[in-house]
Every structure is written in C-alpha cells, then in structure tokens.
Amino acid sequence: MRVAAPLLLAVLAAGPALAAAKPPSGGKVDVVVLSNGTRVVGEVRSMQRARLELGTDDMGTIQIEWENVTQVTAPEFFEVEKMSGGLLFGSLRAGPGEGTLEVVADWGAETVPLHEVARIQRVKSSFWSRFKGSIDVGGSYTSASELLQLELDGDLRFRRPRFEATATASAVVTQQPEVDDTRRSSLALGYTRLFSNRHRLFTRATVEQNRELGFELRGGLLGGWARALLRNARNELVGGAGLSVNREKPVEGETTTNLEAAAGFDYANFTYDFPNTDIQVSAMGYLGLNQWGRYRLESNASLRREVFSDFYFGLRGYASYDSAPATQGAQKSDWGLTLTLGYSF
C-alpha cells in the first residue's frame, strides 16, 4: 500500500497531460517540452518566425512560441536553418546541454542552441504546406464628399532550403462623383537564391499602374544582391542593392525605357504575446542612369494584430515619390493609409 498509493497519485496526475498530448492518428510521436515542464505530444510540422506548429488530434493544430520551448524530439527528417543561414538535415532530439537541439543524420549529429534556430521544415511535408500567404481587404467612405476608397492586397510565398519564391499584388480604387476614378495597382513576382552565409541573390519582375504619378503602365525587372543584416527570434532586417530596367508608358507622351540603380531594405518584427503583432516595412530607392537626376522612392508598411486564429485587423500604408514624373505636370508624390481585415494561411 505504501508503494501503491504514491504510484496511483502519480498516474492520476499525469493522466490529463497525457490525454491532452494525444498525437495525430497514425502519426509518429513527436515530443515538445516547454519551459514550465509541460510535455506536448503531437506532430512537429514547421517552425518559422519564432512559432512552432504542432499537429494534435484533441487540440488541432497549435502554435507554440519558440522561446518557451526547451526540448524537441522528432524522428522524421527535417531541414533546419540557422540564424547564420547554414542548413542542417536530420531528425531532432534534445541536445546534450540545456537549451540545445541536436540534428541527427546518418553522417553524424550537430548541436545547435535553440535561440540560433531560424526555421524548421519537415522534408516530406506536402507541396501545398510549403505555401504561406495572406489576404487583406480594406475600405473607407466619407458621406460629406461621397468619397469611396477600396483596397485589396495579397501575398503568397513558397520556401525551399535554397530558394524562396514570392508573389504579391495590390490594388487601390478611389471613386468620387464628378471626379475621374483613380487607380493604383501592382503585381510583383520574385525569386531569391539563399546562401549559407546570410547572402542572397534576388530577381523581381513587376507590373504597375499609377495615373496619379503620370504613368499608365510600367513593367520592370530588378536584380541584385542582398544580405540579412539582422536576424533573431523577433526581428529580421535585409538590405540589398542592384540594377533595374523598366519600360514606362506615360498617360501622355511616348513610351520610354529606363535604366536605374536601386537600393533598399525589408524589415519585419513579430511578437506573439497577446495581441499577436506583426510589423513589416519595406523601402526601395531608384536613381536614373540614362535619365540622370531623376530618382524614385517606393515604400510600404503594415501593422497586423490578430483578433482570433489566422484573422487579424491591420493598418496598411504606402508612399511613392518621383522627382520627374513620366507625364509632365503629374503629381510627384502619392500616399495612402487604410484599415484592413485580413486572413493568413
């Protein structure tokens, strides 16, 4: 009885935790240990932007803040990206030291501090699970002036160990009685080749329209080099430079071809303490090479706060400046700010 009583109490205490930790049906058992000692059993799917995605039967797919994880054990094959950009492949198990992860393969094992892990992706994950994206819809209406503005934005990303492909689109339409409608729209397709030392080569093709700045259509191709200047669990800053060539059709005048030098940055900040907040800022400057003295600036910013799983309210803004618009007499600057409702997947 002296032995049975403590044993019975231990089993009863562990029962709820074991029930909550039931792994997906037919899946192998992956174990995640949290800083408070809780063990969560399920299927490790991925980790990026400091959130670990774990699939379970009883609780569905759950998101765990990476800073709260102390151990991960998963027998499947994963690709693990370090903050430095280095890539490792293998199964996962608790490292020999506190706060470490060991990546084990047939050719050996390597230990990585948990805070140095930037991304984890299951190698045999489905094709569609590698896509991430979001859709934002916003608008405003002013009754006194009968001014109506609608905005639609979307982005899609596909990630592999050595490259990332992206597609982004945006459209802003403004309507007002007795005033011509104004439209600002753009579509961009990008490809980035990733290297282990945080360096990357990128190319991006864009098609855009902005009659306010004097052009009916502008198609461009940008290519260059970039580097992750800052990268940790909460922030990422990438800066780069390159060359751009575009074909520009003005609202009035002849179509021209322009060669430009370009430089800019992308910054992202993400926190997951309630309310989850995601801030992204990007800016790119262009200096004319065959139109010396002309320069352009393009910037975008967004702030998102999650209201419930995968849905969020946001604030999006853009600003454009052209020192010498394609159409003489057109405005040199254009900017906008919109409240949006969005969904991420």
Q: Output the six-digit token pair for 174.
A: 């403004």
Mean pLDDT of 59-79: 87
**Mean pLDDT for the stretch of residues 217-246:** 92
Tokens representing 14 are 């562990």
Does residue 1 fall inside a structural domain? Answer: no
- The two three-digit tokens of residue 28, written as one number: 């192998």
Beta bridge partners of 164: 159, 192
Same domain flag for 211 and 148: yes
**Mean pLDDT, range 309-320, rounded to an integer:** 86
Position 334 pLDDT exceeds 90: no
In this prediction, residue 194 carries a pLDDT of 86
Residue 28's pLDDT band (cuts 50, 70, 90): low
In this prediction, what percent of the chain has a pLDDT beyond 90?
37
End residue of a domain, out of 61, 90, 125: 125
Return the pLDDT at 103: 93
In this prediction, residue 285 carries a pLDDT of 96
Q: Cα(25)–Cα(236) distance, rounded to whole angstroms?
A: 36
The domain boundary, picked from 125, 147, 172, lies at 125
What SS3 class is residue 180?
strand
Answer yes or no: do 80 and 165 share one domain.
no
Whether residue 43 is found in the same domain as residue 116 = yes
Residue 118 CA to residue 194 CA, distance in Å, equals: 14
| Helices (H), ranges, 191-251 | none
Shared domain for 83 and 193, answered yes or no, is: no
Phi-psi region of 90 (alpha: psi -120 to 50; beta: other; left: phi over 0): left
Whether 165 has a pLDDT exceeding 90, the answer reads yes
* Counted domains in the chain: 2
Provide the residue range defining the domain that includes 259.
Answer: 130-344
- Candidate ranges 7-11, 38-42, 286-290; pick with highest mean pLDDT: 286-290
Gyration radius of the chain over CA positions: 25
**Same-domain pairing of 115 and 151:** no
Burial class (CB in 10 A: 0-12, 13-18, 19+), 74: buried
User: Please, which pLDDT band fits residue 72 given cuts at 50, 70 and 90?
Assistant: very high
Q: Can you name the residues that pair with 5 across neighbouring β-strands?
A: none
- The pLDDT value given to residue 127: 67
Which is nearest to 298 in space by CA: 202, 203, 210? 210
Please tell me the total number of residues recorded for the chain in this structure: 345
Residues 120 and 194 in one domain: no
pLDDT in tens, 128-150: 767 888 899 987 766 666 777 78
**Is 87 a residue whose pLDDT tops 50?**
yes
Q: How many CA atoms lie within 13 A of 169 on its CB side?
A: 7
pLDDT digits (tens, 9 = 90+) for 174-199: 777 876 777 789 999 999 998 877 89
Q: How many CB atoms lie within 10 A of CB 298?
A: 19
Which residues contact residue 192 at a Cβ distance below 8 angstroms, ignoring those fewer than 6 apart? 163, 164, 165, 166, 200, 201, 202, 226
Q: How far is CA 49 from the centre of its chain?
A: 8
Dist. CA 287–CA 276, nearest whole Å? 38
Higher pLDDT pick, 33 / 211: 33
Q: Are residues 157 and 295 in the same domain?
A: yes
Using pLDDT thresholds of 50, 70 and 90, give the confidence band for residue 29.
confident
CATH of the domain at 195: 2.40.160.40
| Residue bearing the bigger pLDDT, 8 or 331 | 331
Confidence of residue 20 (pLDDT cuts 50, 70, 90): very low
- 144 in the same domain as 246: yes
Query: Residue 82: helix, strand or coil by DSSP?
Result: strand
Query: pLDDT at residue 56 above 60?
Result: yes
- Whether pTM > 0.85 for this model: the answer is no
On whether both 107 and 140 belong to a single domain, the answer is: no
Position 275 scores a pLDDT of 64
Q: What local confidence, expressed as pLDDT, does residue 174 receive?
A: 79
Q: Which two tokens stand for residue 38?
A: 């809780």
Q: Indicate the pLDDT class of residue 225, thresholds 50, 70 and 90.
A: very high
Q: pLDDT over 70 for what percent of the chain? A: 86
Final residue in a domain of this structure, among 125, 159, 174: 125
